Amino acid sequence: MIEAITRGVKEAREKSKPRNFTQSFELIANLKEIDIKKPEFKIRQEVALPNGRGKSVKIAVIADREMALNAKELGLDVIEDLETFSGNKREAKKFANNHDFFIAQADLMPTIGKMLGPVLAPRGKMPKPMPPTAPLEGVIKNLDKTVKIDMKKAPVIQALIGSEKMTDKQIAENAMAVLGVIERKYERGLAHIKSIYVKTTMGEPVKVEV
């Protein structure tokens, strides 16, 4: 299958018009014989891409004292005063949409849940809790190559699998990592795949002929 995906990526790249920004590559997998009404058949998880995302991720840290200082030294966006979002849902939504992942000081989670939970939870972006003195470097390194899969109302998986800066093979290998989630999740594995498409951010989907 990886050869077919590589060909699809190559075709999507060739058909994509030049843009003034680096486009991402996306994978779309339509599934069959999956009852999406049953929660146990839905997929919501994170996947580590073997070749990375090809683009940096936006990470926000909600913390104070030592953890906030550490996060600032790493160049991360830091929120120390949650009162910023008190009664300001518009600002909370903007904050949620502008970041890919969130890390939080564990003892602040109750307050975060109250103030930001209604905005972050539906987006699958609830923060990863960490002890106040825990080192952030390892977590940041992992998140830099992580994507989220969130199957909601339809048996479809759509995920970022790389960027134009990467080779066709690297992008295809990342796609296989995402498809591996399907293989492990369901008893019939990849037999549940109805069709696969790959596309650039602004390009038309290209069907992968497997």
Banded pLDDT at 175 (limits 50, 70, 90): very high
pLDDT bracket for residue 129 (50, 70, 90) = very high
How many domains are there within the chain?
A: 2
Contacts of 205 (CB under 8 A, 6+ apart): 12, 28, 197, 198, 199
Structural domain of 137: 59-143
Task: Please state, as a whole number, how many other Cβ atoms lie within 10 Å of the Cβ of residue 161.
Answer: 28
Report the CATH number at residue 195. Answer: 3.30.190.20
Left (φ > 0), alpha (ψ -120 to 50) or beta: where does 26 sit?
beta
| Listed residues 143, 167, 193: the one ending a domain | 143
Residues 138 and 148 in one domain: no
Of 117, 143, 169, the last residue of a domain is 143
Q: What angle do CA 182, 201, 74 make, to 5 degrees?
A: 85
The pLDDT of residue 160 is 96
pTM of the full structure: 0.86
